[in-house]
Amino acid sequence: MSQTFTIIIPVYNEAAFFESAFKQLVDDMSETGIGWDLIVVENGSTDDTANIVSSILEAWNGEGTMLQLPDPDYGAALRAGLLRSSADWTVTFDIDYFSAPFVETVATTGADIVIASKRAEGSDDRRPAIRRFGTWGLSQVLRFLLSSQVQDTHGIKAFSRSVVDDVAGQVTRTKDLFDTELIIRAERLGYTIVETPIVVEERRAAGSPFLKRIPRTLWGLTQLRRALPPKTTSR
């Protein structure tokens, strides 16, 4: 029996970019032959994103749903999409960062969580040096502060049905740390996690101020350390 896939994409003020990226995503996924549906979570946009997404999904011959949240919150958008999904696998993409080949590999890994890791052996990270350094720094913090073996918790990921059902609802943080908390909780519960290589090439300049996020992220991870349950040795 073939596996089912739901792709989740949070969007915020993407009126000028969504249509072209959506067409590229559909073209890329059509080459895989995989059946999939799409959940776009519009969160707090102040431009015409909601209307554009709604019109495009209505005209699309695939299965697409738009959810709306009142405030800009990337993590809350991911959580809303995950909790709506009913697929065997739920894949999280950004509108400017997605990979159809990644989806093809997900069900073959035998893992509960698959991460397209920018730090996995064989990855080709073509982002600016400061952002590569930021990913390295986060991996060190995860290792020493949270005793995690995961090297990269941001970006493209896939979660099995069991992880979504058992863990997603327990996550308390949103904003930048929702996916990090979800992965660390799952790791501590004994779920298997595989990090696969990825080519990282931005389709546009980063819109989020990297340096401004550092203090907020470090403080959030410190709080997370206090809140997390102890690690389970096996499932």
Q: Parallel, antiparallel, or unpaired: how do β-strands 193-196 and 113-116 relate?
A: parallel
- Asked whether residue 133 is assigned to any structural domain, the reply reads yes
Kindly state the greatest CA–CA separation across the chain: 49
Range of the domain at 58: 5-227
| Total domain count, the chain | 1
- Asked whether residue 154 is assigned to any structural domain, the reply reads yes
- Asked whether residue 104 is assigned to any structural domain, the reply reads yes
- Asked whether residue 235 is assigned to any structural domain, the reply reads no
- Asked whether residue 187 is assigned to any structural domain, the reply reads yes
Quote the pTM value: 0.88
Task: Confirm if 45 and 15 have CB atoms less than 8 A apart.
Answer: yes
| Residue 79 belongs to domain with CATH number | 3.90.550.10
What does the pLDDT profile of the chain (235 residues) look like in tens digits? 589 999 999 999 999 999 999 999 999 999 999 999 999 999 999 999 999 999 999 999 999 999 999 999 999 999 999 999 999 999 999 999 999 999 999 989 999 999 998 887 888 787 877 777 777 777 787 787 777 888 888 889 999 999 999 999 999 888 878 999 999 999 999 999 999 998 887 777 665 565 566 667 766 667 777 777 666 655 5
Per the structure block, which two tokens stand in for 213? 């996020």
Q: How far apart, in Å, are the Cα atoms of 10 and each of 53, 81, 128?
A: 11, 8, 23
Distance CA 209, CA 32 (A): 34
Q: Compute the C-alpha angle 7/12/16, nearest 5°.
A: 95
- Asked whether residue 234 is assigned to any structural domain, the reply reads no
Residues present in the chain in total:
235
- Asked whether residue 196 is assigned to any structural domain, the reply reads yes
Q: Compute the C-alpha angle 2/6/148, nearest 5°.
A: 100
- Asked whether residue 233 is assigned to any structural domain, the reply reads no
Q: How far is CA 226 from the centre of its chain?
A: 24
